[in-house]
């Protein structure tokens, strides 16, 4: 009863109103975007009635299909490759004796998080231009996959490393004590226990790749339009609620992945 | 007491000793020399299961070097319940980790039945560990945990199943074999950890403070359980603990460790009754320390004079030559109170009386000053005299009660 409550931030004056304003600013635009995807009129600013027609036209839209296909090819490949790299990196950073340059390695892995994305984008573009110019090499969509893989690695790395650091090292000692060779100990103990970390890492990498705009915009060649680029191109023309429908679809995919990743992490953490 | 009784009743239903280690079933690690899936098999079973020879372990480099083990040598016999006892940081867990193979000695040898295992990785040593945290694999069932070692040894499936069933019975966990390890209690986890470590029939079982996470009653129960398992399996147990009472009740022999050294190795009775050094006497049980002066020595018995001019005969350890000012140690139960101060060897005032149920501790403030002297009295229905705080009392010593020890 006599518990002092003055330090509880929820009781500070203005806390509630500030919180409500923040939430409104964050989510009202998204909500409006979603609502107008159901607008039966052809303007995104004037409400006329309810229809699912724009979703239908989005699903029939071949440009949207092509963009979705590109996006999936790039995201799925980049997710798989970056998650594997991140897993190996995380093991190399946590399950070995401290080695010279371990701090530098950590920096290098996480650099994409700190470098402004536009810089990475310009650098990547110049790099591919250089390769194309001097060696005559162009990997087509492979350029985008490569670029996405690189910037996805730190996102996949973080949850995997966190999981490895939380894991009880004694379990690996116990496995070795029970005649498991290092490979068997990894395969039977470390890897199964690492799965939730790998799943969240992969989900994060997928989302980051899925909605990347800046790097993709600069690196993408002709015929390599991804969903974010497609939406960008559409809004430069007279907009119809079809773009809202497409955006809503993307949003749903993102929410699905983040939720799955969150749920897996929480279930395994118990 | 009810716990002990229950265990005794249950014991006859358990697999008898020959069945457990039966070579004809082919489940025992073969006695012949060679290796099983890379795990070494000692050639000649000798008298000593483990021989630690001049082992040093240094952590850190340069100025930060710390010798966790300072040239330790000890022999652990076959079928022995051997305890490494000492305060935290004394090196007991380091020694256990060296035997298990999680660390490698800076110098020295560790022999398993005569074969040096010190350079081998843990998965090549026929030695298993019960960890303080149990370290059960959380993504496996109880049965899968127990079978893991056998599986890694490449045993056939049928054999693994049979052995797991046997181990489940041994630790009375048959009913819970399909459970995840997170779905069982701490005491049950402890049993699974034991079964898992015993299943591959190691030459030596290492136990790293395995009972410290259990509550008092469960700990008592598991102490009896461990003794039973050791007896039934005939496997050498090396048990690490900081709990002197646990060490005294369970061990065949105890090594008392301090600051990276083994101070004394002996049976619980040896260690308690004839401590080799002051540290051992202080660490094990309660002890009174009394200052005195050696006046004469004859055949391992010194005559020591107190400040009050009273004298007492006191034994001392071999290889120690007490002279001049010394410290005597006397166990509280080896002394007695007398109502008449003049009749005691030393005298004082009763400062405090502490009742423990089974016995009573009398704290006596000695006339010569110094620490209070504690006398322990076993309580009985017919305790003849009652004392009151503040009374003048004398203290008498039983024969052989006092010993002179190295500081």
Which of A171, A176, A179 lies at the smallest CB-CB distance from B137?
A171
As a whole number, the mean pLDDT across chain A is 87
pLDDT in tens, A58-75: 888 888 889 999 999 999
Compute and round to an integer the Cα radius of gyration of chain B.
25
Nearest CA in chain A to B147: A178
B223, B251, B273 — which closes off a domain?
Answer: B273
The alpha-carbon gap from A174 to the nearest alpha carbon of chain B, in Å, equals 6
Domain count for chain A, please give it.
1
Q: Where are the beta strands (DSSP E) in B242-358?
A: 253-258, 261-266, 288-298, 301-305, 311-315, 325-330, 335-338, 346-355
As a whole number, the mean pLDDT across chain B is 84
Which of A173, A184, A192 lies at the smallest CB-CB distance from B152?
A184
Residue-number span of the structural domain to which A216 is assigned: 62-269
Q: Which residue has the tokens 């749920």?
A: A263
- Both structure tokens of B367: 């006339």
Residue B42 has pLDDT above 90, yes or no: no
Beta-carbon separation of B148 and A175 below 8 A: yes
The answer to whether B42 and B111 are in contact (CB under 8 A) is no
CATH number of domain containing B316: 2.40.50.140
The alpha-carbon gap from B266 to the nearest alpha carbon of chain A, in Å, equals 29
Residues B264 and B303 in one domain: no
B273, B298, B325 — which closes off a domain?
Answer: B273
**pLDDT attached to residue B370:** 78
Residues B125 and B91 in one domain: yes
Nearest CA in chain B to A181: B123
Beta-carbon separation of A193 and B139 below 8 A: yes
Dist CA B226 CA A63 (whole Å): 72
| A221 to A67, A122, A206, B318: CA distances (angstroms) | 13, 14, 21, 90
Residues B172 and B126 in one domain: yes
Beta-carbon separation of A178 and B100 below 8 A: no
In a domain, A225, yes or no: yes
In a domain, B280, yes or no: no
Which of B39, B123, B135 lies at the smallest CB-CB distance from A170?
B135
Residues B384 and B263 in one domain: no
B245, B273, B301 — which closes off a domain?
Answer: B273
- The answer for residues whose C-beta is within 8 angstroms of residue B362's C-beta and 6 or more apart is B337, B350, B352, B353, B374, B375, B376, B377, B387, B393
Prediction ipTM score? 0.76
In a domain, B281, yes or no: no
CATH number of domain containing B77: 3.40.50.300
In a domain, A2, yes or no: no
State the best of B148, B160, B197, B202 to mutate against chain A, taking most chain A CBs within 10 Å.
B148
- Both structure tokens of B249: 């009740």
Q: Is the Cβ of B145 closer than 8 Å to some Cβ of chain A? A: no
Beta-carbon separation of A176 and B102 below 8 A: yes
Residue B204 has pLDDT above 60, yes or no: yes
CATH number of domain containing A98: 1.10.3720.10
Note the helical H segments in B28-155: 92-100, 142-152
Domain count for chain B, please give it.
2
Residues B314 and B223 in one domain: no
From chain B residues 266-325, the ones with a CB under 8 A of any chain A CB are none
Which of A83-92, B174-183, B184-193, B313-322 has the least mean pLDDT? B313-322
In a domain, B44, yes or no: yes
**pLDDT attached to residue B41:** 58
Residues B326 and B243 in one domain: no
User: pLDDT 10s digit of each residue in chain A, 270 long?
Assistant: 455 555 677 777 888 899 999 999 999 999 998 998 888 887 777 888 888 888 888 888 888 889 999 999 999 999 999 999 999 999 988 888 777 888 888 888 888 888 898 999 999 999 999 988 888 777 788 889 999 999 999 999 999 999 999 988 999 999 999 999 999 999 999 999 999 899 889 988 998 998 899 999 998 888 888 999 998 888 888 788 888 898 898 888 888 877 887 787 676 554
In a domain, B279, yes or no: no
Residues B348 and B245 in one domain: no
Contacts of B129 in chain A (CB under 8 A): 173-174, 177
State the best of A163, A166, A179, A183 to mutate against chain B, taking most chain B CBs within 10 Å.
A179
Band of pLDDT at residue B273, cut at 50, 70 and 90 = confident
DSSP A82-121: HHHHHHHHHHHHHSS---TTHHHHHHHHHHHHHS-HHHHH
Beta-carbon separation of A179 and B100 below 8 A: no
State the best of B35, B123, B131 to mutate against chain A, taking most chain A CBs within 10 Å.
B123
In a domain, A188, yes or no: yes
In a domain, A194, yes or no: yes
pLDDT in tens, B159-168: 999 999 999 9
Q: How far is CA A172 from the centre of its chain?
A: 31
In a domain, A167, yes or no: yes
**pLDDT attached to residue B40:** 62
pLDDT in tens, B48-96: 899 999 999 998 887 888 889 998 999 999 989 999 999 988 999 999 9
Residues B81 and B206 in one domain: yes
Residues B196 and B303 in one domain: no
State the best of B133, B139, B150 to mutate against chain A, taking most chain A CBs within 10 Å.
B139
Q: Is the Cβ of A191 closer than 8 Å to some Cβ of chain B? A: no
Q: Is the Cβ of B102 closer than 8 Å to some Cβ of chain A? A: yes
In a domain, B278, yes or no: no
Residues B254 and B391 in one domain: no
pLDDT in tens, B299-340: 888 888 887 788 888 888 887 888 888 888 999 999 888 888
User: Based on the number of CB atoms within 10 Å of its own CB, is A39 exposed (0-12), middle (13-18) or buried (19 or more)?
Assistant: buried
Q: How many CB atoms lie within 10 A of CB B148?
A: 26
Contacts of A185 in chain B (CB under 8 A): 123
Q: Is the Cβ of A168 closer than 8 Å to some Cβ of chain B? A: yes
Contacts of B136 in chain A (CB under 8 A): 174
In a domain, A94, yes or no: yes
Residues B266 and B329 in one domain: no
Q: Is the Cβ of A140 closer than 8 Å to some Cβ of chain B? A: no
The alpha-carbon gap from A178 to the nearest alpha carbon of chain B, in Å, equals 4
The answer to whether A172 and A184 are in contact (CB under 8 A) is no
Beta-carbon separation of B38 and A181 below 8 A: yes
Residue-number span of the structural domain to which B343 is assigned: 287-404
Residues B24 and B137 in one domain: yes
């Amino acid at each position: 009863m006599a518990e002092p409550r003055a330090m509880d931030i929820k009781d500070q004056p203005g806390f509630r109103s500030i919180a409500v304003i923040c939430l409104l600013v964050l989510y009202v635009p998204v909500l409006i975007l979603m609502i107008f995807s159901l607008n039966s009129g052809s303007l995104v600013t004037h409400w006329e009635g309810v229809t699912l027609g724009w979703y239908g036209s989005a699903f029939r839209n071949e440009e949207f299909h092509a963009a979705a296909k590109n996006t999936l090819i790039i995201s799925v490949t980049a997710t798989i490759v970056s998650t594997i790299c991140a897993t190996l990196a995380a093991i190399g950073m946590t399950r070995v004796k401290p080695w010279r340059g371990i701090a530098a390695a950590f920096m290098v892995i996480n650099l994409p998080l700190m470098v402004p994305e536009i810089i990475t984008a310009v650098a990547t573009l110049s790099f591919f231009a250089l390769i194309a110019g001097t060696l005559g090499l162009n990997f087509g969509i492979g350029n985008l996959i490569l670029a996405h893989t690189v910037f996805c690695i730190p996102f996949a790395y973080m949850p995997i490393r966190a999981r490895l650091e939380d894991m009880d090292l004694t379990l690996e000692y116990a496995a070795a004590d029970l005649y498991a060779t290092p490979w068997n100990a990894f395969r039977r103990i470390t890897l199964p226990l690492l799965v939730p970390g790998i799943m969240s890492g992969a989900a994060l990498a997928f989302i980051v790749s899925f909605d990347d705009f800046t790097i993709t915009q600069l690196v993408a060649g002709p015929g390599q339009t991804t969903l974010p680029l497609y939406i960008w191109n559409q809004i430069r023309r007279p907009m119809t609620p079809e773009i809202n429908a497409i955006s809503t679809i993307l949003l749903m995919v993102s929410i699905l992945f983040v939720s799955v990743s969150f749920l897996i992490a929480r279930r395994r953490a118990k | 007491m009810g716990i002990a009784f229950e265990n005794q009743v249950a014991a006859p239903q358990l697999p008898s000793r020959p069945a457990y280690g039966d070579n004809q079933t082919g489940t025992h690690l073969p006695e012949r020399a060679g290796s099983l899936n890379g795990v070494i098999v000692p050639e000649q079973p000798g008298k000593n299961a483990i021989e630690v020879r001049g082992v040093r372990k240094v952590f850190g480099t340069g100025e930060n070097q710390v010798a966790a083990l300072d040239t330790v040598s000890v022999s652990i016999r076959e079928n022995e319940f051997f305890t490494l006892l000492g305060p935290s940081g004394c090196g007991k867990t380091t020694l256990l980790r060296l035997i298990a193979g999680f660390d490698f000695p800076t110098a020295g040898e560790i022999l398993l039945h005569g074969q040096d295992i010190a350079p081998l990785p843990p998965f090549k040593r026929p030695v298993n560990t019960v960890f303080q945290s149990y370290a059960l694999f959380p993504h496996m069932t109880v049965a899968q945990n127990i079978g893991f070692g056998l599986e890694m040894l490449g045993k056939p499936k049928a054999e693994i199943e049979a052995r797991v069933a046997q181990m489940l019975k041994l630790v009375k966990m048959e009913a819970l074999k399909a459970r995840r390890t997170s779905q069982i209690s701490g005491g049950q986890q402890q049993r699974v950890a034991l079964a898992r470590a015993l299943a591959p029939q190691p030459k030596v079982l290492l136990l790293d403070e395995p009972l410290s996470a259990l509550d008092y009653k469960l700990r008592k129960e598991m102490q009896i359980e461990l003794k039973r398992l050791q007896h039934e399996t005939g496997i050498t147990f090396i048990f690490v603990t900081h709990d002197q009472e646990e060490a005294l009740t369970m061990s065949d022999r105890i090594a008392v460790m301090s600051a990276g050294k083994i101070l004394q190795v002996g049976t619980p009775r040896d260690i308690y009754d004839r401590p080799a050094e002051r540290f051992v006497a202080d660490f094990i049980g309660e002890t009174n320390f009394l200052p005195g002066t050696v006046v004469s020595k004859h055949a391992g018995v010194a005559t020591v004079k107190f400040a009050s001019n009273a004298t007492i005969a006191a034994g001392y350890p071999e290889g120690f030559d007490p002279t001049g000012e010394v410290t005597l140690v006397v166990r509280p139960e080896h002394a007695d109170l007398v109502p008449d101060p003049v009749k005691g060897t030393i005298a004082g005032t009763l400062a405090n009386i502490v009742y423990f149920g089974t016995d009573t501790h009398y704290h006596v403030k000695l006339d010569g000053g110094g620490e209070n002297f504690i006398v322990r009295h076993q309580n009985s229905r017919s305790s003849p005299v009652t004392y009151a705080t503040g009374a003048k009392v004398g203290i008498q010593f039983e024969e052989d009660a006092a010993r002179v020890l190295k500081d």
